Amino acid sequence: MIKIEHLCKSYDKKPVLKDVTISIQSGSIMGLLGPNGAGKTTLLSILIGVIRKDSGSITVNGMDLDHEIGAIQTRCSYVPQTLAFYPRLTARENLEYFGALRDLKGKKLKESMEFCIDIGSIQDFLNKRVDKFSGGMKRRLNMAIGLLNDPEILYLDEPTLGVDAQSRNYILKTIKKINSERKTTIIYTSHYMDEIEQVSDEIAIIDEGKLILHGAKQDILTRADTLCGHRNLEELFLKLTNIRLRDEN
């Protein structure tokens, strides 16, 4: 379980997370929604230990983030929205490299790689340089690398950004599969409401650094029905976050 209490973070005195309190159940998929600049990526960055919070407390599966960051990072995995690997290396070389940095070696590395190759459906392109991959293949490899350590918690930051319908469908199915087969807790950010509706058990909406809604998917959709007249997540999102454009400056 991930427990976040009164989390605050500012950049140059500009608050980006304001007193966020939320609990995420183990083994669930939580869809994290929010307009551009809402604070989603900052929240994920704090949870994976890449940037430091200003105040508040975070425990991950009973471990305090401030004191057991190393142990938490070993059990978690983060898949950035950018394609965070080496384009001039082959898919195999990328997997070997990130696997080795996850302390995997020998048989364990091989087994882990086989699982990820299968999950990413990249068997036929293993020895091909990644810069020759299509957008969908790159996204699948990006996610596969995140699964090398068989994480208890997987943070996915817009994993379907810029892919075709087929790859998107494949990635979403894979997320469900990993969650159901391995009981992995998944925190998932996306701008696509239909995706969130499709894969999430819980939904949280964050805007201007504040958590404005959090609950089980069915409860959220019921609320959408009440507020907007039909069970549409996008209409609820726009109603709650306002239709004002959120161009970042």
Nearer Cβ to another protein (54/114): 54
Smallest gap from Cβ 241 to another protein, in A, equals: 26
Reference 198, options 142, 228, 243, 160; nearest CA is 160
Angle between helices 233-241 and 217-228 (to 10 degrees): 70
| 152 touching another protein, by CB under 8 A | no
Question: Among 2, 65, 145, 187, which residue sits at the site for another protein (rule: CB under 8 A)?
Answer: 145
Question: Among 2, 24, 31, 81, which residue sits at the site for another protein (rule: CB under 8 A)?
Answer: 81
Smallest gap from Cβ 42 to another protein, in A, equals: 10
Smallest gap from Cβ 101 to another protein, in A, equals: 6
Reference 154, options 123, 109, 199; nearest CA is 199
Smallest gap from Cβ 19 to another protein, in A, equals: 20
| 126 touching another protein, by CB under 8 A | no
| 164 touching another protein, by CB under 8 A | no
| 110 touching another protein, by CB under 8 A | no
Residues 6+ apart with CB under 8 A from 185: 2, 24, 25, 26, 27, 28, 29, 30, 152, 153, 154
Residues 6+ apart with CB under 8 A from 233: 193, 194, 196, 197, 203, 220, 221, 224
- Reduced to 3 states, what is the DSSP secondary structure of residue 52? coil
List residues near another protein by CB under 8 A. Answer: 11, 45, 48-52, 69-70, 73-74, 76-86, 88-89, 93, 96-98, 100-103, 105, 129, 145, 149
